[in-house]
């Protein structure tokens, strides 16, 4: 009888130890999960803030550049203003480079995501290119052997009826939505593949317009618009 009670007691004791250990495991796992979610939310917020910042800077520099082109500044003052704006656009473009690198390493991107980010990266560069070439904002870019910029099918961005401008707005909205949607952390190989696609020269202006419209499901530049 004593042996039976002792065995029963030991079984209950062992069961209690197992249950306590299992409960501890669950609590630890839940704590780890919550910590990962917290870090993910913080990373998403940081990426969103970076995106909104560069978008705001794009439009601020653009509006100032329109004012510079539309007013009668003397040559020296105008050039000083142009190169100051070029410096701001270059700094913002560097933040875009950091943003797309961050997304490539922190998100498991689809082929569409990669295309959108590659197009956005190149579309953003049109601001600096136009300032460099002393042109109104639009789609440019053909590089001279000395590294300078020549107009290439330059389409000035006047309003939402300008197709490439409308494409940029849709593109920026899609990138913002991508950032807002939390994703899965990719493997190193997937992240490297994402960066190769995003940084591909095939998105250089004005090709980004066609690629972006395809990824966004919009009519191609050669098709009649119904926007």
What is the C-alpha separation between 82 and 73, in angstroms, rounded? 11
For the four alpha carbons of 195, 199, 202 and 207, in that order, the dihedral sign comes to: positive
Q: Is 140 helix (H, G, I), strand (E, B) or coil?
A: coil
Structure tokens at 48: 């969103």
Model confidence over 101-110: pLDDT tens digits? 999 998 899 9
139 strand-pairing partners: 155
Whole-structure pTM value: 0.77
Q: What is the pLDDT of residues 19-77, one digit of tens each?
A: 776 666 666 665 666 666 667 677 778 888 999 999 999 999 999 999 898 886 777 78
Q: 132, 149 in Cβ contact below 8 A?
A: yes
State the Cα–Cα distance between residues 167 and 159, nearest whole angstrom: 12
pLDDT in tens, 102-141: 999 988 999 999 999 999 999 999 999 889 888 889 876 5
């Amino acid at each position: 009888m004593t042996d039976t009670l002792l065995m029963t007691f030991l079984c209950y004791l062992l069961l209690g130890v197992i249950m306590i250990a299992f409960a501890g495991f669950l609590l630890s796992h839940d704590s780890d999960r919550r910590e990962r979610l917290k870090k993910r939310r913080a990373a998403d917020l940081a990426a969103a803030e970076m995106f909104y910042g560069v978008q705001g800077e794009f439009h601020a520099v653009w509006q100032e550049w329109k004012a510079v082109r539309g007013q009668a500044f003397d040559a020296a003052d105008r050039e000083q203003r142009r190169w100051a704006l070029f410096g701001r656009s270059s700094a913002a473009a560097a933040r875009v480079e950091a943003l797309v690198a961050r997304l490539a390493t922190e998100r498991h991107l689809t082929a569409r995501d990669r295309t959108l980010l590659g197009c956005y990266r190149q579309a953003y560069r049109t601001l600096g290119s136009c300032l460099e070439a002393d042109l109104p904002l639009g789609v440019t870019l053909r590089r001279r052997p000395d590294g300078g910029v020549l107009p290439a099918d330059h389409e000035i961005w006047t309003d939402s009826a300008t197709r490439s401008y409308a494409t940029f707005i849709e593109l920026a909205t899609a990138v913002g939505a991508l950032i807002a949607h939390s994703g899965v952390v990719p493997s190193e190989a997937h992240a490297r593949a994402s960066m190769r696609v995003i940084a591909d020269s095939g998105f250089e202006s004005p090709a980004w317009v066609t690629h972006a419209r395809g990824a966004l499901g919009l009519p191609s530049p050669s098709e009649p618009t119904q926007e």
